[in-house]
Every structure is written in C-alpha cells, then in structure tokens.
Amino acid sequence: MFSFLWPYVFVLAPIPWLIWRFMPAMEEEQTQALKVPQIALFKYAHNFQSENKQNSYKKLKITGISLLWLLLLSTIAQPQWVGDPIKLPVSGRDLLLAVDLSGSMQEEDMQIDGKMYNRLIAVKLVVSEFIQKRKGDRLGLILFADHAYLQTPLTYDSQTVETMLIEAELGLAGQKTAIGEAIGLAIKRMKDLPAEQSSSRVLILLTDGANTAGIDPIKVAKLAKDIDLKIYTIGIGADELIVRTVFGRQRVNPSRDLDEDTLKSIAEITGGEYFRARDTNNLKQIYTRINKIEPVESDNKTYRPTQSLFHWPLSAFLLLSFVIAIFYRLDNQVNRAGV
C-alpha cells in the first residue's frame, strides 16, 4: 500500500493561503505605455480584456505556487510503497564463529582447483558458504591469535559477517594462538542471553595449532558448560606435505603443532564434537554436518519491504519550477515591451 513516512508534514499545507489571505498585497509596478487616441468603446473593451487577463494570471500564479508547495511537502513527507508482509525464517540459534589468524595459518597445504593455497583462504571459501546457508540464525565472528577480538557481534545480518571474514588478514591479531581467550570471549557474549535460548548457544572454533597464549582452554571450557555453550572444534591442516630442501624432496607433517587432544577435550566437556579437516573437502563436509544442527523454535518475524518514492514528487517539483521560471521570464519581457 501507499503511505507517507512523515504525514504530519502536511499540516503546513495552508501556509501559502494564509500568507495570501492576511498579508497586505504588494503594489504592482506600473509600466509606461504609449498613449494614443482611442474611441471610448475600444478603450472599455481593452480595459476589460486587461482586467480579465490580470485575474487569470493571478489565478495561474497562485495555482503554480500552491502546486510547488504541495510537491515540496510531499517530498519531505517521504512517500513510500509498503509491500505485503514476508515471514522471516528464525531458528533461534545464536552461533559464534571463532577463526584462528595466527602465523601458522599461512601454511600452503590446502588444495583448491588443483592449486595450493594457505589455510586461511580455504577457511574463507568454505565458511563463507556455510554463513550463506544459516538463514534465520544470529551469527557472530571472533578472530584470535595473540588475543581474541569480537569482529562482528551476534546479528541476523549474515552478509556483514561474511564480509568481515573475507576481509580478515593473517597477522591482524598477532602470531600466537589464544584458544582459551577466544572461548572466554564467546562466553562473555553468550552468558546474558535469555534462559529459553540456552540450548541454542553454539561456538564453532577453528584452529591449526595449540594454545600458546592467554588462559587455559580446558578451564574456560568448563565455564562454557555452565552456561550451556556447545563448542564444536575443528583442527585444520594436512597430515603430509612434500617440500624441497637441500637434501631433496622430503615429506613433512605441517600439522605437527596441532593439539588434537585439547580440542577433543573442549568439545567433549561442552557436549560438542571434534572434527579433523585435512583438506577443503573435509572442511566442507564438516560444515555441512554442523549445518544440520536442529533449530530451536521461536516466534516467526515478519518483514514488510518498502520502496521509497520521494524522487517522483521531487522531480515534479523541479520540472514545475523550471516551467514557472521560464513563464515569468517571458511575461516580464512582454511587459517591458509594452504589450
């Protein structure tokens, strides 16, 4: 339906009429005209036509000004078209993503389309797809290395969460790995949620190393259990990588620093699960599995799309102003010519 965002603006509509009604009229400038002998009848007819022309001109002038004023008020009132209500799917889940940005995430052991990329690029690719599928969830993003930072608070705006993840850079938060601090920050953001949403609190923590900074992650995991925060941990990194050395090609384990025992314990304590991602296919399968978490029922929300229409009265105002300006200019030229 059609509506105005600020309809009360139209209380100003009578202002031009009030000015015309109560302010004293300005004396019109008398133009000098060439006097020629005329017969009385011709003079009377000429005066009658001039008076009618003046009255018509005044009516036209008042009408134009009134239209301009109404168009200006219509623009200020913000006309809009409000569409039919659309139901939004709301699952009630509050889900935080914690992504490791430590220096080891630059290890190029993830294969995408036949080429090797570093671990962070693989994470961005897979997790972006995961975020796009989480319609109706409130999502948030934590980035951690030396310390943990809340990059995006819990929000239904999944596009913003995805953008902030894509813009994350290695070394942004340091070189170490503060797993415990990332969990602690998630607890801080989740603990004040309503009690009826306690079973919907989820943290997905992805790392390729061990806790080398901050607090003990096992102790913090026990606090997470107290507020019913379920933690899914993901260890990322290949088990084997062929590198060239001075002794020739050798096989190395790029994930030798991955502390799987701690990640398994965190998941077990909080009722979550530990996953191992050795390549991008593993990572996709893991997020597909997590994506099947049963939603928590909550009230449906509705959204009514609105389309702003202020540009139509504004365009009409500018066009009419242009026409009136041209009309006044031509009329002044005619009056100066003595016509």
Secondary structure of residue 43 in the 3-state scheme = helix
Instruction: Give the residue among 62, 68, 51 at the shortest CA–CA distance from 25.
Output: 62
- CATH 3.40.50.410 for the 88-290 domain, yes or no: yes
State the chain's mean pLDDT as an integer. 78
Q: Would the CA dihedral through 148, 149, 155, 157 be positive or negative? A: negative
What pTM was computed for the model? 0.59
| pLDDT tens-digit series, residues 251-266 | 666 667 888 899 999 9
Q: How confident is the model at residue 71 (pLDDT cuts 50, 70, 90)?
A: confident
Task: Bin 118: left if φ > 0, else alpha if -120 < ψ < 50, else beta.
Answer: beta
Residue 36 has pLDDT above 50, yes or no: no
| Residue 260 CA from chain centroid, whole number | 38
Q: What is the per-residue DSSP string for 167-206?
A: T--TTTT-SS--HHHHHHHHHHHHTTS-GGGGGGEEEEEE
Residue 239 has pLDDT above 50, yes or no: yes
Residue 240 has pLDDT above 80, yes or no: no
Residues near 12 by beta carbon (within 8 Å), at least 6 away in sequence:
73
Residue 329 has pLDDT above 90, yes or no: no
| Under 8 Å between Cβ of 271 and 258 | no
Element (H, E) at 58: helix 40-76
Neighbouring C-alpha atoms within 13 Å toward the C-beta of 240: 3
Which residues of the chain form CATH 3.40.50.410? 88-290
Residue 47 has pLDDT above 90, yes or no: no
| pLDDT tens-digit series, residues 149-196 | 999 998 888 899 999 999 988 877 777 888 999 999 999 988 877 655
Among 187-201, 244-258, 287-301, 304-318, the range with the most confident prediction by mean pLDDT is 304-318
Residue 34 has pLDDT above 50, yes or no: no
